[in-house]
Every structure is written in C-alpha cells, then in structure tokens.
Amino acid sequence: MENFSIDERSGVPIWVQLRNRLVYLIQTGRYQPGDQLPTVHEMAVNLNINYNTVNKVYRSMETSGLIMSKRGRGTFVAENPAFDDEDSLESTIDAMMGDFIRQCEELGMTREEIAGRLQDKISRMG
C-alpha cells in the first residue's frame, strides 16, 4: 500500500482527503489499471480511520468508474478509469496546494514566507 496519511486537523473531510489521494495515485500511474487496492479493512486499519469512511470512498470511486469491485476477489483500478473534471490531475494538485497554504497560514506564516520556504525546499531536493 502506498504510504500516505490523513490530516485530521485539516478542514478537509477525511473521506475527501482519502479519495483525492487515491485518485492522484491512479492518475500518476502509481496504481495501474487492474492493480488491486488494499481492502477496506486494511486501509481503515493502516490509516486509523473508520471502516465506513473507506467504504464510502470506494463506493464513490466505483460509481465514478475509477475502480471496480469483484465479489470475493477485491477492489481493482478500472481498466479505463473515467476521470471527471473534479478528478483531473490539475484539480487534485490545486486542492492539495490550497490545503498546504491554508495549513501554513494557520501556523501564522505569510504567503511570502510560504513561497520562500517552499522554494528553499525545492532547491534542496535537487
């Protein structure tokens, strides 16, 4: 399973954070068509979140045509995942960046400080 976490202090609902992250992983090819996703139980335990929250995300993604469930076998990335406008990579990245900026501002940083720190981090990463 991909290593990611949920930020319970974020103003973004947990199920939205999880859905956005999974959509991003599919869009960027970390999860390929046909790849099996962790079970609802595994995901809930690994992220320390409610089983029903993960189930809600999986149902939402299945309804959207991103994943498919095979009874008794598991949940898999759809062969041709159908991304709508809300699921576009650009939209997902914008949402993630907006969350990051809001969290930094909640810590008391100005936008100039955020931009400077981000640029420093990018430079150090090479």
Angle between helices 40-47 and 51-63 (to 10 degrees): 130
Secondary structure letter of residue 52 according to DSSP = H
User: Which residue in 71, 69, 65 sits closest to 23, CA to CA?
Assistant: 65
pTM of the model: 0.68
Domains of the chain: 1-83 (1.10.10.10), 87-125 (no CATH)
Count Cβ atoms within 10 A of the Cβ of residue 37 and give its class: 0-12 exposed, 13-18 middle, 19 or more buried. Answer: buried
Per-residue pLDDT tens for 35-44? 999 999 999 9
CB 52, CB 45: distance < 8 Å: no
Residues 89 and 74: their CA atoms lie apart, in Å, by 26
* pLDDT of res. 3: 67
pLDDT in tens, 61-114: 999 899 999 999 999 999 988 766 566 667 777 777 888 898 899 899 999 999
Rounded to an integer, the average pLDDT of 8-12 is 81
20 Cβ neighbours under 8 A, 6+ residues apart: 12, 92, 95, 96
